[in-house]
Structure 1
Amino acid sequence: MIDRAIDRGFATSLELFASNVVGTDEQKLTVVRQLATEMLDSVTAAISLAYSDDLEAEVVEDQRTRNALAVALLAGQDTSTVTRCSGFEVAESYSVLAVHFPSRSDSGSETLLTQMDVRRMIRNIRAALDRHGSVRALSRLDVRGGVVLIPSDETRDLDALLALLSGAAGVDMTATCAEAPPARIPETVDQLCELLDLVQRIQRPPGLFRFADLAVEYQLTRPSAVRRHLDAILNPLDDHPILMETLCTHLANNLNRRRTARQLSVHMNTIDYRLKSIRKLTGFDPSSADGLWYLQSALVVRKANYQDTESTTSM
C-alpha cells in the first residue's frame, strides 16, 4: 500500500512538473531525470529514518521487557504480569551465569571501564546472545559484571558461549554457572556470586567455573575453626617472604624442582634447602602427600584472605 502510494505520487509529480518545463524534449528529459533523482533521495532518506526509528522502538521495548522479567526472576517476584502483558514466556529452567568484567590494562596500569565502554560491552554481549540463538536470554549487567539467564533448552556449550561473549565484549571474562528453575534463581545467584568472589580471591585465570570445579576450595573457605587452623599453618612463613614465594612457585609448577629453580633463578639445591626450612617452620613436609595437602589447603585459605569475625568454635 505504501509502495503504491509512493509510485502514484512520483508519477503525478513528474507529469505535473514535465508539463510546465519549457524547452526541447531532451532538455525536459534532463530536468525531469534530475528531479526524479532528488525526489528519490528524499523519499529513501525519509523511509529509512522512519524504519530505523520504528526498529529502535521495538528493540527498546523488547529490552525493557527482558529487563523487567530479569528483575522479577532475580528478586523471586511473581512474573505473571510481565509475561501476560508482553507474551514473553518464562523457561522451565535456566543456565545461570554470574559474570565478572575485569579492568582494562592501559599502558601497564589497571584502569576501570568507562561508562561508554560498559554500554558498548553490554550491547555487544546481548547481540552475541541473540546471534547464539538464545532469543529468550535475560541479563542484568553493569560496570562490574552481573547475571545472565539462558533457558536451559537453548543452552549448548557454556564454555564456548563464555568465550563468544568475551570476544564480543573485548575482555576475558570470568563466570560461575549452575542450572536452576525460576523459583531457585535468587538463591542460586547468591551462591554463584559467592563462588565468583572465591575464584577472584584465589586468583584463578579467566574462564567458566562450576561448583564441582572448586568444591574443595569452597568448603575450605567456609567460616569455621578449620579455616582458621589452616590459615595459621602459614603464619611461621610470614617473616620469611622468600620461603613463601618458593612454596607458591613450587606448587604452581606442580612440584617440578628444576622449573621452580629456573623461575626463581637459583640452584636446585637452594630449592631443596628452602623446602626443608618450610618443613621445619610449619611442621609440614612439602615433599610428602599429607604435608603437601595441608600446605596447599592453607594457601587456598590464605589467598582467599577472608576476615574471620565469628567467634572460635570448638571442633
Structure 2
Amino acid sequence: MTDALGPTAVQLAGAHLLDRLDELVEQITAEVWRAVPAYNDIVMERDALEQYVRPNIQGTLEYMRSGRDIDDEDRRRLEVLGRSRALQGVPQAAMIQSFRIAERALVDAFCVFCIRSAFNSAEQRSGIQAISAIMDRVERTTFEAYLDTQRELELDRGASIAMLVTRLVDSSVGDQVDIDTQARLIGANPAMPYRCIALTVLPGDEPADPTGPLTRLRRHIQARLREARVPSVIAGLRDNALLLLLPVTERDALAAVRRAVTPAQARMAVVGGTGDVYPSLFEARDSCRQAIAALEVAVRRRRQNEVVGYGDVAIDVMLLDSADASRRLIAGYLGNLEPHPVLVQTIREYLRQSLSVQITAERLTVHVNTIAYRLRRVRELTGHDLRKPDDAVGFSLALRAQELLEDGSNGKDGSN
C-alpha cells in the first residue's frame, strides 16, 4: 500500500469495519451458507462455519487497518484452515466461491464507507485493489495448505483402497466392521450391493509405455465409468489384474465396462471376468473370487475384448480348481489316443454334432461307416463308449480340461 491516498482510505475503513465485525461476519456466513451447498453436504453446522469465517475476516480487516502483510502466525492459522477444509472434504470450487463472497462483501462495505466518508473515486479504486491483493494473499496461503493436504489424502486413499481390495480378495478378510469402516474412509457405501469385475491385458506388440498396460487400462475404465456416472467405484491392482468393485445402482456399470473393453474403445487386448451381485461390500468378497476365477478362464480361452460371466464358465472354473482331477480325466479318456489325432478330431466333432454319426461324417467328409469304425477304435483304446451318455460327458470334460490346461500359462495348475 504505497499510494498516498489509497492506504489512508483502506486503513480508516479497516478500523471502522472492525467495529462492525459481528455484523460483517454474520452477513458473510449467511451468504456462504446459502450460496455454497457443499457446506451443507459435508454436514457442517452453521455455527462451525462462522468460527472459520470470523478469524479470516478479522485478520483481513487487521491487514487493512495496519497496512501490514501476512506474518508467520497468520500463515499458520491460514494453513490450519486450509488443512481442515481438505479433511472435511470441501470441494475446491466451494472454497473459491466462499472467498469470492467474502471479498465482494468487504469491497461493498469499503465502498459504502468511502461514500459516507467522502473519499474520491481514485481513493476508492486504489482501496478496492488493495483489498483484492490482501484477499489474494489470504486465499493463496490457505489454498497451498489445502492442496498439499488433498495430495496427502489422495495418497492415503490410494493405499487404503489397495488394502481394502487385498482384504476382500484374501481369505483372511477380517470382520465386517473393519471392512465397512475402511470403505467409509474412502467414501464408499458398504451397505450397497456390489459386484466385482477383474480385467487384465494380454501381452502383445503394444508400444513400450512406462505407465504399464494395467495403469493405462485403469485410467481408461475409470474415465468410461465417470462418463456413465457410476458412483463410488473401488479399483485396485491385484496379481496382474485390475479389480473393480462396482456399486449396483440404476446405472448399468457392467454394461459400461463391457463397452469400454471393446476394440473400438480399449484398443488393447483386454480380457475380463465378472462375479455375481452380492447385497453388501463385505459379502462381495465372494464376487471378487468369482471374478478372478472367470478372468483366469477368459485368459486361457483368450476371450479377447469381452467380460466373461462366472456363471457362464462355472464348469471351466471347476476343472481348473481341481487340476489334479482334470489331469486324471484327460489321462483316462484321452491318454491312449495321443498317437491317433484323427480319433480325437472325430470325438470332438461327434460331440459337437450332438452324437450324430451322419452329420459328423458330413462335416468330416467321410463315409458314415468310417465314423462308426473310428468310434469302435475309441472304445477299444480307452474302454469308454461315446454312445453312452456318461462316457460322452467324460470325453467332453476331458477335452475341455485339456484345452484349459494347455492354453493357460499362469493358472492354478502350476504350469507357469
Task: Name the residue aligned to 2:163.
Answer: 71
The two structures have a TM-score, normalised by structure 2, of 0.48
User: Structure 2 CA distance, aligned partners of 1:288 and 1:134?
Assistant: 51
Task: Name the residue aligned to 1:169.
Answer: 266
Contact 1:176/1:192, CA 8 A, preserved across alignment: yes
User: Aligned in 2, Cα 1:126/1:113: closer, same or farther, shift over 3 Å?
Assistant: farther
Say whether residues 1:190 and 2:289 are aligned partners.
yes
Say whether residues 1:137 and 2:262 are aligned partners.
no
Say whether residues 1:150 and 2:240 are aligned partners.
no
Identical pairs, percent: 22
Give 2:337's match in structure 1, choosing from 237, 242, 247.
237
User: Structure 1 CA distance, aligned partners of 2:186 and 2:236?
Assistant: 19
Q: How many aligned positions are there?
A: 255
User: Structure 2 CA distance, aligned partners of 1:260 and 1:58?
Assistant: 65
Task: Name the residue aligned to 1:44.
Answer: none
Contact 1:97/1:147, CA 8 A, preserved across alignment: yes
CA offset at residue 235 of structure 1? Answer: 0.9
Q: CA offsets, 1:261-314, max 9 Å, x none?
A: 2xxxx5355555444432332233445534321210222233333759xxxxxx
User: Structure 1 CA distance, aligned partners of 2:254 and 2:189?
Assistant: 22
Give 1:215's match in structure 2, choosing from 302, 311, 314.
314
Partner SS state of residue 133, structure 1: coil
Structure 1: stretches of 5+ with no match in the other structure: 5-11, 13-53, 309-315
Task: Name the residue aligned to 1:257.
Answer: 360
User: Structure 2 CA distance, aligned partners of 1:259 and 1:100?
Assistant: 40
Task: Name the residue aligned to 1:298.
Answer: 398
Partner SS state of residue 294, structure 1: helix
Q: Which amino acid aligns with 2:275?
A: C
Which structure would you say has the larger Rg? Answer: 2
Contact 2:221/2:257, CA 8 A, preserved across alignment: no
Structure with the largest fraction of strand = 1
Report the RMSD for the aligned CA atoms in angstroms. 4.4
Larger mean CA deviation between 74-83 and 190-199 belongs to 74-83
Task: Name the residue aligned to 1:278.
Answer: 378
Which one scores higher on RCO, CA 8 angstroms, separation ≥ 6? 1
Contact 1:73/1:185, CA 8 A, preserved across alignment: no
CA offset at residue 95 of structure 1? Answer: 1.0
User: Structure 2 CA distance, aligned partners of 1:223 and 1:142?
Assistant: 23
User: Aligned in 2, Cα 1:68/1:120: closer, same or farther, shift over 3 Å?
Assistant: same
User: Aligned in 2, Cα 1:242/1:87: closer, same or farther, shift over 3 Å?
Assistant: closer
User: Structure 1 CA distance, aligned partners of 2:200 and 2:367?
Assistant: 39
The two structures have a TM-score, normalised by structure 1, of 0.61
